[in-house]
Amino acid sequence: MSRELTTRHFDALGSTCELLSVESGPAALERCEQRIRDAEVRFTRFIRDSELAGLNASEGRYVPVSPEMFAMLEAALWAFAESDGLVNAAVLPALVAAGYDRPFRHGLMQPSVLHPMQLPPLPQVLLLDQATRSAALAPGAALDLGGIAKGALADLLIDELGENAVCNLGGDLRVRGAGPDGDGWHIGLCDGTLVALREGAVCTSGISRRRWGVAR
């Protein structure tokens, strides 16, 4: 028999977010939504006075950062190491050069010529000082945390959602528990594939919603 499911849907982090829980009530889901919105303001590069924007403008100086930002920067360094450099938060200059200099919903600049950029290894341009909880970026370096922020947030929020829940942040999902019907959470992908999980994560990406190319 299905158990009662509490759900919450909203737009944040440039995506559609979905919270589902069998055990937690609406108040817990509302708290999680607020944490997501707080994180969006903190980690976005599109708000001039966001914490990330301040770090990107620090010009090589150590600047104090919040515990949340410090943890996200540690996650960025971890992701770089675990992926052998494929996940590199120092990608922002390349994104801007490719025309991704504003939120996607506002339309993107179309560069006349697109040249590949060599990205610096993240550990060479991002330095952390745990004693002072501060961070420094090498001059000319800039971070985009979009590649890791949603997944890291989902990992944190699943604990607040309870032992039988899903946190889906724009295709980065964290899953826990047997689901409302007891046979796991069924995750539908865009290609029609169905994945059933009781514990773990699913990360999806594609070009069906976000893409651009050189005009002809």
- What's the domain count of the chain? 2
Q: Give the model's pLDDT for residue 111.
A: 55
Considering the domain architecture, whether residues 53 and 85 belong to the same structural domain is answered as: yes
Is residue 72 a part of any domain in this protein? yes
Q: Give the model's pLDDT for residue 127.
A: 98
Is residue 82 a part of any domain in this protein? yes
- Stated as kind and residue range, the H or E segment containing 166 is strand 165-169
What is the rounded (10 degree) CA torsion for 38, 41, 42, 47?
-170
Q: Give the model's pLDDT for residue 103.
A: 55
> Which tokens hold the place of 84?
């052998």
What is the rounded (10 degree) CA torsion for 181, 183, 188, 193?
-150
Give the Cα separation of 163 and 175 in Å (integer).
9
Q: Give the model's pLDDT for residue 213.
A: 53
Considering the domain architecture, whether residues 69 and 139 belong to the same structural domain is answered as: yes
- Stated as kind and residue range, the H or E segment containing 27 is helix 26-43
Side chain identity at 194, as an amino acid letter?
A: L
Q: Give the model's pLDDT for residue 216.
A: 45
Q: Give the model's pLDDT for residue 113.
A: 53
Is residue 214 a part of any domain in this protein? no
List the domain range (segments joined by +) for residue 52.
46-144
Considering the domain architecture, whether residues 139 and 54 belong to the same structural domain is answered as: yes
For each successive 10 residues of the chain (216 residues), what is the average pLDDT?
84 91 94 95 87 94 97 96 96 79 53 72 98 97 91 93 95 93 88 87 68 49
User: DSSP class of residue 186?
Assistant: E
Is residue 190 a part of any domain in this protein? yes
Considering the domain architecture, whether residues 56 and 140 belong to the same structural domain is answered as: yes
> Which tokens hold the place of 197?
């999980």
Give the Cα separation of 147 and 83 in Å (integer).
12
